[in-house]
């Protein structure tokens, strides 16, 4: 048992004082105690003090029930079923150093984080997971409907979180497929967020395999056709140099649209391009919304049941009776 407004229970204290005062007073004798008995008999001869006390008890009891009702008592539990309609969305996020390129402002990785955060905020009932990858891939966030937690994990992503550099798209796709292929249902989608730079492995074959399992593969390209140099950033966030190859030449990172389009086509999905123009996440959100949804969660929640109504009714009843009870003694016809 609990109360919504427990502070109202403090009003019971003055009521107790009133009850104690009523118990200790001598009734009529306390009214004009120095008056002669003839005047008292004349003024209070028809006053029924026992009924007066009954009215007082009824009124106090009604007020007590009113306070309890206003405090919002909650008893027992109520069980209700909650179903969420949605899909399982796995976001594979490229954290290779090429994602620090600044052809997309403020940088590829920051633009991707911004757009994906908007996408997560627009989800309704879908479960979301995050896999980060560079030279290796790691499950960063398991499937969850806790979007606040997903946003916290997303904002913490940077290009220094995986020491083994590279862009192993196939490794990330394998992990994503393993994550969502634990049941035979459809309603599963993998979102590949990358610049497509230096891909390794057989990503297209994996996309075809995923499609045969009912998993859609959408790809999101981050970058421009002209490309950009790759800044090298120190631990404190200051740029110190641009990345060079073994011969000392500066490396220009260019978005590899072709491989990403081929992966999306093989995975029965779509290719999206995140650029400096507008809100790019809306097209991705429309593609997810257009998918057939399923009840991915069905929980029974127990919560307290509001029980103020019976106390309010009892309070009203006691107040009504206290106003109706007469305190005057009725004359008997033989006494007239």
Residue 336 has what pLDDT? 46
The encoded tokens of residue 247 equal 């011969």
CATH topology of domain 83-298: Rossmann fold (3.40.50)
Smallest CA-to-CA distance from 281 within 111, 39, 125 is with 111
- Give the pLDDT score at 296: 54
pLDDT of residue 185: 62
What is the CA angle 119-113-244, rounded to 5? 145
**Which residues on neighbouring strands pair with residue 241, listed in sequence order?**
232
pTM: 0.64
* pLDDT given at position 333: 46
Backbone φ, ψ for residue 172 (5° rounding): -65, -40
The CA-atom distances, in angstroms, between 46 and each of 201, 275, 317, 327, 332 are 104, 93, 27, 8, 12
Q: Which tokens is 133 given?
A: 């990858």
Residues 83 and 125: their CA atoms lie apart, in Å, by 9
What tokens does 26 get?
Answer: 């001598």
**β-pairing, 271-274 with 294-306?**
unpaired
Token pair recorded at residue 96: 């290779």
**CA–CA gap between residue 260 and residue 273 (Å, rounded):** 10
Radius of gyration of the chain (CA): 37
Instruction: Please give the chain's pLDDT, 336 residues, in tens.
Output: 677 777 788 888 887 887 777 666 655 555 556 666 666 666 666 667 677 778 888 888 888 888 888 888 776 665 566 666 778 899 999 999 999 999 998 999 999 999 999 999 998 888 899 999 998 999 999 999 899 999 999 999 999 899 888 788 988 999 999 988 876 566 799 999 998 865 566 889 999 999 998 899 999 999 888 889 988 877 776 777 888 888 889 988 889 899 999 999 999 999 999 988 877 889 999 888 887 666 655 455 556 677 788 888 888 898 888 888 887 766 544 444
pLDDT at residue 94, rounded to an integer: 94
pLDDT at 1: 65
Annotated domain spans of the chain: 2-72+307-335, 83-298
The pLDDT value recorded for residue 166 is 79
Is residue 109 within 8 Å of residue 132, measured between CB atoms? no
Place of tokens 């009725």: 330
**Which tokens sit at 100?**
């620090």
């Amino acid at each position: 048992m609990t109360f919504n407004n427990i502070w109202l229970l403090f009003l019971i204290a003055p009521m107790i004082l009133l009850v104690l005062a009523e118990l200790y007073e001598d009734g009529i004798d306390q009214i004009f105690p120095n008056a002669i008995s003839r005047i008292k008999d004349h003024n209070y001869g028809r006053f029924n003090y026992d009924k007066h006390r009954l009215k007082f008890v009824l009124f106090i009891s009604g007020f007590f029930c009113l306070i309890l009702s206003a405090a919002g008592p909650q008893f027992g539990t109520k069980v209700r079923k909650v179903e969420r309609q949605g899909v399982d969305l796995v976001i594979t996020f490229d954290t290779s150093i090429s994602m620090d390129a600044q052809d997309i402002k403020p940088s590829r990785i920051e633009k991707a984080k911004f757009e994906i955060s908007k996408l997560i905020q627009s989800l309704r009932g879908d479960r979301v997971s995050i896999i980060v990858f560079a030279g290796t891939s790691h499950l960063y966030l398991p499937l969850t409907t806790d979007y606040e937690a997903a946003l916290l994990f997303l904002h913490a992503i940077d290009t220094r979180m995986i020491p083994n550099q590279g862009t192993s798209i196939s490794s990330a796709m394998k992990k994503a497929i393993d994550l969502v292929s634990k049941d035979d249902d459809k309603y599963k989608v993998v979102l590949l967020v990358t610049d497509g730079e230096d891909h390794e492995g057989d990503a297209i074959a994996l996309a075809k395999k995923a499609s045969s399992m009912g998993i859609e593969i959408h790809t999101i390209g981050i970058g421009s056709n002209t490309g950009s140099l790759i800044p090298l950033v120190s631990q404190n966030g200051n740029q110190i140099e641009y990345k060079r190859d073994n011969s000392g030449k500066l490396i220009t990172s260019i978005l590899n649209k072709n491989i990403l389009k081929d992966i999306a086509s093989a995975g029965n999905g779509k290719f999206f391009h995140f650029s400096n123009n507008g809100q790019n996440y809306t097209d991705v959100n429309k593609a997810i919304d257009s998918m057939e949804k399923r009840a991915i969660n069905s929980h029974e929640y127990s919560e307290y049941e509001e029980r103020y109504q019976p106390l309010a009714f009892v309070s009203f009843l006691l107040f009504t009776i206290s106003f109706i009870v007469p305190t005057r003694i009725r004359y008997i016809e033989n006494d007239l």
